[in-house]
Structure 1
């Protein structure tokens, strides 16, 4: 059975299969095993070895529609994040699309569905801008309608589905008139060439950004509103790591003291001298002024501020404003001194 045969069988049987238990279902096994294997075999050679082929009918329960992703480990560790070529069925299972899509789950878990939908649409624009000559390869920007977050019973939800905006470009096939496997594979090879070129640019670091956003969310440091503030904090933390110097930090604490400059909590007064080291140094230099090649930083208020751990986390959540703005709009604790 060829790859096109698997596409037809899935399109014709998936909606009925969804009314039956997922566990040990033969169509689920075909989607997870035979479908990816047929695509791998069709590619053959070194191409088949370079990528990971992942097919899914759902996890624990049937999804609204199955998908098959082709992953490059330098771009993403799993289908939950990053970007990759993926086969998706559209409403009604009359059409199947090969698109340059994105993993949404990790981002959604970190920032919520609404903000993730906005960000994924912006990322799709970036992918089109950095995707090379995809139009000349016969691909278009859609729109392509995903079934991932809607039920097949309520087609009124399809047009409003925000995940329809996450595919950057691709090609649609009618299931009733699928081309031969040779043409399907030729289209996939063209898509993979674009994928490889995008990966080599190292510009679209979506997977790494999602990991950073997950870390901010888990630490309670994720700013509210649009993700612009969160991205600023991510860059801020990256620069802090790049310019981390223990001796310099010790000099900062010695120079600026052990009292939090935001809420004025004094570690030495509260706990004694043994706890002085728990005051933290926060980078106070505007990010735009720090070159990637390095910077000469001094243990002064021009470059740093000292904060307690709570205020340090809170200033990140606020988007790293300067000290006066942070104190004016965000510090309301009883340690605050006017």
Structure 2
């Protein structure tokens, strides 16, 4: 199944399934935690030795904002800290955002604001990629925390979700910005002299 179809399916069924008890057997759980990450891992610009894809619909109870993250393992292996690419589904499931964001659990607010500013300065003005604070995920505390963590994003709507080719191009663009930021900020490993 294509990325386009996987995302649309989550957007179409999540709200109904969320009314039931969270279970690994639910289709939304399967899509977000397995199918979408597996589809992302097949993209040639996401080598598995460097990038990890992981999704979540919540722990114990359904989250209002399901997500699928793509993390550079040299930067972070957890969505609770560091910065990474993450698809965020809005609470009403009408929008999907491809974002360059940060972990909200372990990142102090002042550091989050600094990193967000630094990333935004790196990204050139571009039609598809936005670097403002107009992202709208919903009204829950979690949605608001996620909105604050986003440095850049591309917004999609349920009614006008782009083709697989465009989704892949957009992700490749965001990965490019992610890499640029990583290369500018992460300390270089010392040379290995024998």
What TM bracket, shorter-length normalisation? Answer: 0.7 to 0.9
| Greater strand content | 2
**Cα distance change of structure 1 residues 137 and 194 upon mapping to structure 2, 3 Å threshold:** farther
| Greater helix content | 1
**Cα distance change of structure 1 residues 170 and 71 upon mapping to structure 2, 3 Å threshold:** same
**Cα distance change of structure 1 residues 81 and 128 upon mapping to structure 2, 3 Å threshold:** same
Residue 28 (structure 2) aligns with: 27
1:164 to 116, 124, 147: 147
Deviation, 1:32, is 0.5
Deviation, 1:118, is 5.0
Deviates most, 163-172 or 191-200: 163-172
Is 1:183 the counterpart of 2:182? The answer is no
Residue 125 (structure 1) aligns with: 117
Larger Rg: 1
Matches within 5 A, 1:1-338: 1-24=1-24, 25-41=26-42, 43-44=43-44, 47-49=46-48, 50-107=50-107, 116-117=108-109, 119-129=111-121, 131-133=122-124, 135-136=125-126, 138-142=128-132, 143-147=134-138, 149-150=140-141, 161-202=144-185
3-state SS in 2 of match to 1:92 = coil
Asked if structure 2 preserves the Cα contact closer than 8 Å seen for 1:64 and 1:150, the reply is no
3-state SS in 1 of match to 2:46 = helix
Unaligned runs of 5+ in 1: 108-115, 152-157, 205-338
Q: Cα RMSD (Å) of the superposition?
A: 2.2
Unaligned runs of 5+ in 2: 188-194
Partners of 2:166 and 2:27 in 1: how far apart?
A: 28
TM-score w.r.t. the length of structure 1 is 0.50
Partners of 2:154 and 2:99 in 1: how far apart?
A: 6
Partners of 1:17 and 1:23 in 2: how far apart?
A: 10
Partners of 1:52 and 1:16 in 2: how far apart?
A: 29
Asked if structure 2 preserves the Cα contact closer than 8 Å seen for 1:18 and 1:62, the reply is yes
Partners of 1:70 and 1:139 in 2: how far apart?
A: 17
